[in-house]
A and B are shown apart, each in its own frame.
Chain A
Amino acid sequence: MRKVAVVGGGQTKFGELWDTSFRQMIIEAGTRALEDAGISGEEIDAMYVGNMSSGQFIQQEHIASLIADHSGLAPVPCTRVEAACASGGLALREAMVAVASGIHDVVVAAGIEKMTDVITEVGQEALATVSDQEWEAFVGATFPSFFALMARRHMHEFGTTEEQMALVAVKNHHNACLNAYAQHHVELTVERVLQSPLVSSPLKMLECASLTDGAACLVLVPLEEARKYTDTPVEIAGSGQASDTIALADRESLVGLRATREAARKAYRMARIEPKQVDVAEVHDSTTISELMALEDLGFCRKGEGGKITEEGLTAIDGTLPVNPSGGLEGRGHPIGATGIAQALEIVLQLRGEAGKRQVRKAEVGLTHNVGGSGGTAVVHLFRRR
């Protein structure tokens, strides 16, 4: 198996991009990634695109062909991968596997979601289809309600407070203010988060990621050839993926995600990296409680202590383990299929030392964590500066 490196990346602005179409978005992100890598379209051997639901959001399936075609890259093979909100992380993994195997040399890993071409209700109903339609959505379960049920249980078992959860939103919105590509540029306070309208108790509006348009792309090559393209290659040192029950009620426990723990275990083992060696992480904060559980499941603290280490400031940009310096799903925005790629792009920028005002100190090792649905899929990647 060959080692794989990221040699370039790019993204669109994340937000409500009403004047930009799906195809314009992917071209914009792709062009930036190719320019960053210093390659031309002829060099690309294959593309993998994470997308949750172009069918529901823009009534367009077969986007693999559409993207290859409108990027001017046909007949380059293009493959769409889907695992709800983990689609982007999965596209990255498939692209990595393609390069590692030797079947392709230069591969694009992309992610895209165009969510604001439908009215908000339709967007939210589309999101709810990541759950079990027959037994969860059928009785009125919504996307935020899954995390609300986990939050309530986490509060019950560990005494996690609504203030600790609100701090995640405050931190991630602060970080997003330092990211020009982020959707939300607004500083929050704990009071303002707590006073925002309840979506699904105990979670409030400012604790949940919003509907977002966005696309992001990365260029992957074999590590041994990476210096032909860049002086600052970033190795994908580890990759892990795991599944769990689609229905939340069927899980062994509601206070964490088994898929995250399993994916992390595999990624750490492959990279021979331990949690304490991670210098910066982008985790899947679809809601505030999601980030607290991720800190625990990824091994950054013990189960139940996610709120505590957040309160102590460990996860701030100047903390000992900066988490979501990009603003995360809450601040940067969560265009479903694009999120996993945008997370990896942020880690690449951090490890190259190109993250500007949100640059974390001494970043050598980075981690990304991408979750599908309420935890039916998780993908974890580890990156190392080379």
Chain B
Amino acid sequence: MHVPRFWREIPNRYTLVGTRCGHCNKVFFPPRAICPRCRRVGQLEPFRLSGRGRIHSFTTVYSGPRDFKDQLPYVLAIVELEEGPRVMAQVTDCNGEEVKIGDEVEMVFRRIKEEGEEGIIHYGFKARLVRKAGAGGS
């Protein structure tokens, strides 16, 4: 991946900043430039998400692209963030058997992948299960 393509997404990938429609208040992450509901009537402004959410669905990936080979198998989920939008993210620090639909997660800043020995190291967010004290988690 050429550097600018990665670099221009950094504000959103590093800080979970999406957009919110000033007309209908719907929150978008990943950010959208046009609200599909209000289109030209809507005014989209940057909106920072809390990073809290729940597992909407998940899968363990056993066969993946070369940039992710050293991470296989990894858990991938669609997380429903508490502000409404859903986002695709890996679930970190867990194995597939621990994850259930509805589980609470928080988004944490992690290394996503490396493009070979000398390529770019990509960072972004992964989801981590919120393990409540006394609820059997440790």
Q: Which residues of B contact A (CB under 8 A)?
A: 9, 30, 56-66, 68, 71, 74, 76-78, 85-90, 96, 101, 112-113, 122, 124, 126
Pick 9 A–B contacts, CB within 8 A, sort by A.
Answer: A121-B65, A135-B30, A139-B124, A149-B58, A152-B101, A156-B57, A200-B61, A202-B59, A254-B78
A150 CA to B62 CA, complexed, in Å: 17
Asked if A249 is at the interface (CB within 8 A of a chain B CB), the reply is: yes
Residue contact A140 to B65, C-beta cutoff 8 Å: yes
Asked if A298 is at the interface (CB within 8 A of a chain B CB), the reply is: no
Q: Which of A139, A148, A199 has the most CB of B within 10 A?
A: A139
Q: Which of B30, B57, B58, B87 has the most CB of A within 10 A?
A: B57
Residue contact A139 to B90, C-beta cutoff 8 Å: yes
Residues of chain B lying within 8 A (CB to CB) of residue A312: none
| 8 A-B pairs closest in CB distance | A148-B59, A153-B57, A249-B86, A201-B60, A149-B57, A135-B30, A140-B68, A249-B88
Residue contact A142 to B101, C-beta cutoff 8 Å: no
Residue contact A125 to B62, C-beta cutoff 8 Å: no
CB < 8 Å A-B pair total: 94
Chain A, interface size category, equals: 20 to 34
Residues of chain A lying within 8 A (CB to CB) of residue B59: 145, 148-149, 152, 200-203
A121 CA to B76 CA, complexed, in Å: 19
Dominant secondary structure at the B interface: strand
A199 CA to B63 CA, complexed, in Å: 6
B93 → chain A closest CB, angstroms? 15
Q: Which residues of A contact B (CB under 8 A)?
A: 121, 124-125, 128, 132, 134-142, 144-145, 148-150, 152-153, 156, 197-203, 247-250, 254
Residue contact B9 to A141, C-beta cutoff 8 Å: no
Residue contact A124 to B30, C-beta cutoff 8 Å: no
Residue contact B101 to A153, C-beta cutoff 8 Å: yes
**13 new A-B contacts at CB < 8 Å, known A139-B124, A145-B76:** A121-B65, A121-B66, A125-B66, A138-B112, A139-B112, A140-B112, A141-B88, A142-B63, A142-B65, A145-B59, A156-B57, A203-B59, A250-B86
